[in-house]
Amino acid sequence: MKTIEYKLIMRAEQPIAHAQESLGNVSVLARRKVRRPGGGFSLVPYVSGDAARHQLREIAARMTLDAIGLHSGMSQGALRLLFNGGMVTGKGDATTVNLDRYRELVALFPPLALLGGCTDNRPMPGTLEVGELNLICRETEHVMPAWARDSGVGPLDSARDHVEQVTRTRMDPTLVPERVSLLSSDDAAAIHARTAKSAKAHEDGDAVVASESKSAMMPREHECIARGSLFWWDVAARVYSDAEETAFRAMMTRAMAGIHVGGKRATGHGLIVAIGCMTPQAEASPEDYARHINREALRAWLTSGVNS
């Protein structure tokens, strides 16, 4: 058994919209309680270990599929195992695996040993320990590990300084005359009638009719962690074979180049990259990892009907 640990300083290359809940039209950042040195707690934004761990799972799954050149035709059970870790049914049917089958699957797909999966009727823990991404700020200075403090992170700002509130609006195309002109005459007339009804309701102060005839335009707000914010992150795994070690190193090499966490990824949010590894590690490429895979056997299993 060997334990490999990555201690990383990560930087938000894009704003991070890792929300915890919505209050009305406002999406609120995930925050955690941090004990203050003088008593009491501060709420500090963070990125959950679950979000980070799922990124490692996605990296492993996609790296494996690239290695065997398989991008279609897979069974539902196989995809669920690769991207979700499987499922618990409470009975040993074909969509679950027993311990012996689990060992065979680990040999076929080494990241399963790191990430864990499901056996007969309970989840099988993996050997990967993914820490939360902790914001480097004044509120966390006293709990920051020495290796993070020694990484030269510079003067610290308060957690509140790292949070920005952004307003966006989903426009209603029926409010734009040139788009309304594209509608059929009946639909255009209905839009004009609704607009007139809404205007009259506002003049009359009739809230019920105003609500019924309002447009679909929706302003909304979200909080995000500002671009350039720094986090400390540690990830460790117990490995028992060359295949597991290479898989872990390849996953982490890819993750250090950048992972996406949180929402709004389609609009330039969520990219975090490593700017320093305080425990220098050997790198591994997807090609190194591919050498440990039995491509034919894995391809046959992923496309077989027995696991769906």
Partner 1 sequence: MIGEHPATIAPMVVTARLEWSIVLNDPPMLDSLLAWVYAARANLLAPVGPEQTIPIAVPLAEQDGIRLASQGIAGTPDAYETRHKHRRAPWPEYARMGSVRLRRCDMAAGPDKSYRRPYVVTVVEGDAIHWYALGDLDMVRSLLRDVRHVGKHRGTGKGRVREWSVEACETWPGFPVARDGRPLRPLPVSWPGIDPGARSGFRVLTPPYYQRERELPCLIP
Nearer to partner 1, 103 or 295 (CB): 103
Using CB under 8 A, count the residues that bind partner 1. 53
Q: Does 265 bind partner 1 (CB under 8 A)?
A: no
Binds partner 1 (CB under 8 A): choice among 24, 125, 154, 280: 125
Query: How far from the centroid of its chain's Cα atoms is residue 139's Cα?
Result: 24
Binds partner 1 (CB under 8 A): choice among 4, 11, 42, 75: 75
Residue 134: both structure tokens together? 């902790």
Please state the φ and ψ torsions of residue 169, each to the nearest 5 degrees. -130, 130
CA distance 289 to 245: 9
Q: Does 35 bind partner 1 (CB under 8 A)?
A: yes
CA distance 271 to 224: 12
Question: For residue 110, how many C-alpha atoms fall within 13 Å in the half-sphere facing its CB?
Answer: 26
Q: How far is the CB of 188 from partner 1 (least distance, A)?
A: 36
Q: How far is the CB of 205 from partner 1 (least distance, A)?
A: 40
Q: Does 32 bind partner 1 (CB under 8 A)?
A: yes
Q: Does 132 bind partner 1 (CB under 8 A)?
A: yes
273 torsion bin: left (phi>0), alpha (psi -120 to 50), beta (else): beta
Binds partner 1 (CB under 8 A): choice among 189, 199, 216, 240: 240
Q: Does 249 bind partner 1 (CB under 8 A)?
A: no
Report whether 40 contacts 261 (CB < 8 A).
Answer: no
Nearer to partner 1, 87 or 175 (CB): 87
CA distance 259 to 276: 15
Binds partner 1 (CB under 8 A): choice among 22, 25, 76, 165: 76
Q: Does 18 bind partner 1 (CB under 8 A)?
A: no
Residue 254 CB neighbours (<10 A): 22
Q: Does 48 bind partner 1 (CB under 8 A)?
A: yes
CA distance 53 to 115: 8
Q: Beta 218-225 vs 26-29: how paired, if at all? A: parallel
Q: Does 80 bind partner 1 (CB under 8 A)?
A: yes
Nearer to partner 1, 138 or 238 (CB): 238
Binds partner 1 (CB under 8 A): choice among 14, 55, 95, 174: 95
**Residue 94's closest CA among 109, 108, 77?**
77
CA distance 225 to 206: 41
Report the interface residues with partner 1, using CB under 8 A: 1, 3, 32-33, 35, 41, 48-50, 52-53, 65, 71-77, 79-80, 82-84, 87, 89, 95, 98-99, 102-103, 116, 119-122, 124-132, 143, 145, 236, 238, 240, 303, 305, 308
